[in-house]
Amino acid sequence: MASDSSDSADHGRMEEAAWEKKDLDPLPERPVRVILDTDLASDCDDAGAVAVLHALADRGEADILAMGVSAGNRHSVLVLDAFNTWYGRPDIPIGTVKASGVSAGSRYTEEIAGEYPRCHDHWEDADDAPDVMDIYRKTLASEPDIDDENPGVVMVSIGYMTNFRDLLQSGPCEHSDLPGDELVANKVRLWVCM
């Protein structure tokens, strides 16, 4: 079916309107500081999101502070380590849910964990990886409080909300005397949930 010229003109005006949106913030002057939380197990969306985040870091638009796994899959954190190693950032602090993770099967995590190089190749499974709460609290505690000079951290979650719930409900620790909800309020400007 052929379209007439009015359809093309309407499409052109819609594209113009989308690009002329005035209420969008300009690109930040410095990279957005990001913590990514993923359930990396049952679906491929997490692999794509990790790839996009690394591409943004390559462009200087994101600074990846830490990553965590919310799925109770014994190989997921190993896959996250393999991804970070593949993308040239093997030193990103990563952890995994320890006590209350949703058990998640996967068709690919064991194979990727076994076949691709990892920075933490001494980890056999999730039991050997750090507790994600320790990683998140340590990372946030090391960040400056939100103010006019510091826009704060953006936390991105893909999948289960377990780690965010646990972070908000966490108590003081060796990294910060603040309970989790206050730590987040002082350090995190935005939570993005996919």
CA gap 98, 123 in Å, rounded: 15
The HSE-up count of residue 47 (CA atoms within 13 Å, CB side) is 14
* pLDDT tens per residue across span 68-121: 999 888 888 999 999 999 999 999 999 999 877 667 777 777 787 888 778 887
Q: Is the CB of residue 144 less than 8 Å from the CB of residue 114?
A: no
Choose which CATH entry (3.90.245.10, 3.30.499.10, 3.30.70.120, 3.40.50.300) describes domain 30-193.
3.90.245.10
Strands of the chain (E only): list them. 32-38, 62-69, 94-96, 153-158, 188-193
CA gap 141, 13 in Å, rounded: 47
Mean of pLDDT values over 18-30: 53
- Residue 11 confidence (pLDDT) above 90: no
Q: What is the pLDDT of residue 99?
A: 75
Q: Which two tokens stand for residue 13?
A: 């005006």
Instruction: Supply angle C-alpha 128, 129, 135, rounded to 5.
Output: 150
Q: What is the pTM for the complete model shown?
A: 0.82
* pLDDT tens per residue across span 134-151: 999 999 999 999 999 999
- Residue 3 confidence (pLDDT) above 70: no
